[in-house]
Chain A
């Protein structure tokens, strides 16, 4: 069964810290892995997309890595800000089916 898990489930940090969010997937036959953020009551905003042939992607203060063979992806957030507070979701793309993790709820305190 294709499952995606995320650790930690919730995280609260003071402003300025560097963060690591983890995503694991049981079936490594992915086409790509996508990271999203979701603000309360809102839809999902795409952050980064890593193709299965890539090792990492960077956008501003965000860096996502992918180790397909071990079924893991990591999202690094540098110099966190209160505006980064949201739920972060990863999704493994298996073709016609995207499997989402349950999310990590992040709170960055000013």
Chain B
């Protein structure tokens, strides 16, 4: 595909369950970002991957959140023991340029609802 894809598009889960969100970046893009957008809020940076380097996890809100990127391509964001405040739209973006000058391209997002 030509763009960033994310799956699932919607996820409803019960409090306390674990969830996995997937992001497929644009082919060849070395940088990958995860953001969270809560209802009525701006985008909150979560984590950044650049190639095979160790990710910048400075934005992760708690140790229940983790992410990995396999083979420098697909990324999975995992939320353990979900809480109601985790309900939000989780957006993934990728960028071609590794020199911090690149344009970000976003996926459609995964809407997570924790009951």
Which residues of A pack against B, CB within 8 Å?
A: 31-32, 34, 36, 42-46, 49, 51, 89, 91, 93, 95-103
Name, among A31, A34, A44, A103, the residue most crowded by chain B CB atoms within 10 Å (CB to CB): A44
From 66 to 115 in chain B, residues with beta carbon under 8 angstroms from any chain A beta carbon are 91, 93, 100-101, 103-109
Measured between beta carbons, the chain A residues less than 8 angstroms from B58 are 97
Contact status of A91 and B108, CB under 8 A, knowing A44-B91, A96-B48, A96-B56: no
Measured between alpha carbons, how far is A76 from B52 in the docked complex, in Å? 39
Which residues of B pack against A, CB within 8 Å?
A: 4, 33, 35, 41-43, 45, 48, 50, 56, 58-59, 91, 93, 100-101, 103-109
Measured between beta carbons, the chain B residues less than 8 angstroms from A102 are 41-42
Q: Nearest A residue to B31 by beta-carbon distance?
A: A96
B47–chain A nearest beta-carbon distance, Å = 10
Decide if B56 touches A49 in the complex (CB within 8 Å).
no
Measured between beta carbons, the chain B residues less than 8 angstroms from A100 are 35, 42-43, 45
Q: Nearest A residue to B105 by beta-carbon distance?
A: A46
Contact of B56 among A36, A93, A97, A103 (CB under 8 A): A97
Decide if B108 touches A42 in the complex (CB within 8 Å).
yes
Decide if B103 touches A97 in the complex (CB within 8 Å).
no
Measured between beta carbons, the chain A residues less than 8 angstroms from B103 are 34, 46, 49
Measured between beta carbons, the chain A residues less than 8 angstroms from B48 are 96-97
Contact of A97 among B4, B42, B45 (CB under 8 A): B45
Measured between beta carbons, the chain B residues less than 8 angstroms from A98 are 33, 43, 45, 104
Q: Nearest B residue to A30 by beta-carbon distance?
A: B100
